[in-house]
Amino acid sequence: MLASFLLQMPLPGATDAAALASPRRSRYSLTIPLDPPGTILPKPRIFGPAGRPLVVIDAGHGGHDPGAVSPDTGRREKDVTLAVAQAIKAELIRSGRVRVALTREDDRFLVLGERSEIAHGIKADLFISIHADSALPGSTANGATIYTLSEVASDREAQLLAQRENRADIINGVNLGRQRTEVATILLDLAQRESMDASAGFANLLKREATGLIPFRPDYHRMAGFVVLKAPDMPSILLEVGYLTNADDAERLASEAGKQNIARGIRRAVEIHFARKLAAR
């Protein structure tokens, strides 16, 4: 019964419609609620010259999910991430070397898995998720951190952050993220290992190119199991741009210069990343 249950689960790439098209009913048939056929993820606008590599910038949180909230100013993470993402988009368009798209351009909610699926759907070459951190009262934590995917968290704090960020998918106890079958997971793992290495490479490049523009924490590269980074086919990083709970960080993130510096740092790393890929061909 378990086997037949698994066989009826959609494989990656199989559409919900295809999964529904093979009705194998038996006395033991189970009803599994699926998304209604025809549910199509939003296709974002793509900016920049055709033929260039495509960078997708993901503004964390949105809609009913505000993310972290600054205790002093009440500023919400979802607004900070969107403003930073828009600054990065403008900077990458100005550079003219890449194409760029945002997973969201307004205040809307997206399930975590949908964010990388949107990027996958438009064949993105690089995925950058933007977030802002928060710390417990009394903490002096400040500065930016780059996270990449790992099954094993680099430390307890990284693990707790991933749990916090992954919680966006759980509403009223219902997990909105899609589950994958065991076989599909193994196949995905193989592809994912390769992009995990490329992601770590990009994290180091970003630290090098953005030093002086973005204040990084001493342990600037950390790893944990972020759902939003589980795209098997493109390098993916999550950038926590600073702490909303730290006055200096909050001021920097609210200022035009602060946002511009993040955008410039990312643009430099992005240009070198793709120049290297071109040279390696």
Query: Which residues are near Zn ion by CB under 5 A?
Result: 60, 67, 131, 165
Output 99 or 252, the one with its CB closest to Zn ion: 252
Residue nearest to Zn ion (CB): 131
Q: How far is the CB of 44 from Zn ion (least distance, A)?
A: 20
- DSSP-derived letter for residue 29 is -
Q: How far is the CB of 120 from Zn ion (least distance, A)?
A: 21
Output 166 or 204, the one with its CB closest to Zn ion: 166
Output 54 or 59, the one with its CB closest to Zn ion: 59
- DSSP-derived letter for residue 140 is -
| Rg, C-alpha atoms of the chain | 20
Q: How far is the CB of 86 from Zn ion (least distance, A)?
A: 17
Q: How far is the CB of 159 from Zn ion (least distance, A)?
A: 15
Question: What residues have CB less than 8 Å from 139, skipping those under 6 apart?
Answer: 245
Residue in the block written with tokens 């494989």: 11
Output 69 or 272, the one with its CB closest to Zn ion: 69
Output 10 or 60, the one with its CB closest to Zn ion: 60
Output 125 or 165, the one with its CB closest to Zn ion: 165
Q: How far is the CB of 66 from Zn ion (least distance, A)?
A: 10
What distance in Å separates the CA atoms of residue 77 and residue 145, rounded to the nearest whole number?
15
88-116: burial string, b at 16+ Cβ within 10 Å, e else: bbbbbeebebbbbbbbbeeeeebbbbbbb
Residue among 103, 112, 108, 124 at smallest CA distance from 58: 103
Is there a contact between 87 and 95 (Cβ–Cβ < 8 Å)?
Answer: no
DSSP reduced 3-state for 43? coil
Q: How far is the CB of 67 from Zn ion (least distance, A)?
A: 4
